[in-house]
Amino acid sequence: MKPSFSTRMPSRKLAAAVIGTCLSLPYAATAANWSDTSISYRYGEQFNEPAIAKDVSKDIVGFTHVSGHGYGQNFLNVDILMSDKNDPAKGGGTGAQEVYVVYAHQLFMGKVLDRSLSFGPVKEVALTTGFDWNSKDTAFAPKVRKILVGPTLKFDIPKGYFDVSLLFYKEWNNNGIVGKSVNFDSTYRIAMAWGVPFTVASVPLSFEGFLNYTGEKGRDGFGVKTDPETWTDMFIMADVGQMLMGKPRTLRAGIGYEYINNKFGAKEGSTGSETTTPMIKVQWHF
C-alpha cells in the first residue's frame, strides 16, 4: 500500500503550535552543551486500536530532539500519526489524525552530588521526570495526560546507551463515548531504552528502541478493570549518510517492529488490544 500525505495531513496550525511549545521546554532549566535534532517518517500496515477488529495502516511523521547539559539531558519527541479509514475520525469518511508528545528530563545524581555513583556495568544514576500529551480526533477523543518520575540506571555502552528506569506513573484521559474524564489509579512503569551501534560487513548499523511495562491502573471510563500493558518498538537502522555521502548520522534508514499487549490497559484478548506490525523508518538529522 502506498503511503499518502495529501489527504490525511493534520492541521498545520495544531502541529506547529505543539512543536513550537515543546521546543522551548528543553532549555527552560539550563542551556544545552550538545544536541541532536531529527525528523523521521515511519510506516506500517498492521497497527491495531482497541475495539477495532481490522488492521490499521499509519503514516507517522516524527520530530525528535535530544540535548545534554552539565547535569543531565533532555528528550523530546512529537509524533503526528495519520491512520487509514479503518481507524476513522469522528463522523467517519477519513482516517483519524493524532498528535502525541513525549518529554523527559534526566538529572544525573552523580553530577549533582559531585561523586561517582557508578557500580558494575552502571556508569550513572539519574532522576527521570517527564510527561506525555496527546490529542486524537476520533469519537473516543482521547486526551492523554501522563506524568512519570523515578530513578534510572544508565549502563556503560561504548558509543551507545542502555537505560533502565523504575517510574511512578499517573494518567488522566478522556472517554468521548461515555463523555467522561478518567482519573486512573497511580501505578508503576518499568522502562528500557537503548541504542547500540555495531557493524556488519563494513555497514554501520544501530539496534535501538524502547520497551515499557506499565502496571494495571484501576478502571477505565467504561468501568472495566485495566490489565498491565507491554509496549515495545525496535529498529535496525543503517547509516546511509555515512555510506553514500561520507556524512555520518545525517541520513539513516531501517526496518523495525512494534509489539503491544493490552494496549492502553485493554483487557487481555479483547478486540484490538494486541499489535504486531513491521515498520519502515527514514530519519534525517540536522
- The CATH number of the structural domain formed by 12-25+36-285 is 2.40.230.20
Q: Rounded to whole angstroms, how far apart are CA atoms 154 and 32?
A: 20
pLDDT at 10 over 50: no
pLDDT (0 to 100) of residue 32: 72
Report the chain's mean pLDDT, rounded to a whole number.
91
β strands within the chain, DSSP E = 34-47, 56-69, 72-83, 97-108, 122-136, 145-155, 161-175, 180-183, 187-200, 203-214, 229-238, 251-261, 275-285
* Residue 93: predicted pLDDT: 85
User: Percent of the chain at pLDDT above 90?
Assistant: 88
Spell out the residues 6+ positions from residue 214 whose beta carbon is closer than 8 angstroms to its own: 169, 187, 188, 189, 228, 229, 231, 265
- Could you give phi then psi for residue 230, rounded to 5 degrees? -115, 130
Look-up of cell digits 515543546: 22
Can you read off the three cell numbers belonging to residue 215?
Answer: 502496571
* Contact criterion met (CB below 8 Å) for 262 and 230: yes
Write down the pLDDT at residue 3. Answer: 36
pLDDT at 173 over 50: yes
Residues forming a β-bridge with 92 = none
Q: In whole angstroms, give the CA distance from residue 133 to residue 114.
A: 34
Residue 273, pLDDT score: 96
Is the separation of the CB atoms in 86 and 52 below 8 Å? yes
Tell me: pLDDT of 195 over 60: yes
Q: Rounded to a whole number, what is the distance in angstroms from the first to the last CA of the chain?
A: 29
Whether residue 38 has pLDDT greater than 70: yes
In the predicted structure, residue 21 carries a pLDDT above the cut 90: no
Nearest to 278 by CA among 25, 38, 58, 30: 58
How do residues 218-239 score in pLDDT, each as one tens digit? 999 999 999 999 999 999 999 9
**Percent of the residues in the chain that have a pLDDT greater than 70, as a whole number:** 89
Mind listing the pLDDT tens digit for each residue in 46-71? 999 999 999 999 999 999 999 999 99
Is 252:286 a contact under the CB 8 Å cutoff?
no
What's the rounded mean pLDDT across residues 201-207? 96
For residue 4, pLDDT over 80 is answered with no
| 11 has a pLDDT exceeding 50 | no
* Cα distance between residue 67 and residue 25, in whole Å: 11
The pLDDT of residue 31 is 64
For position 85, what pLDDT does the model report?
A: 96
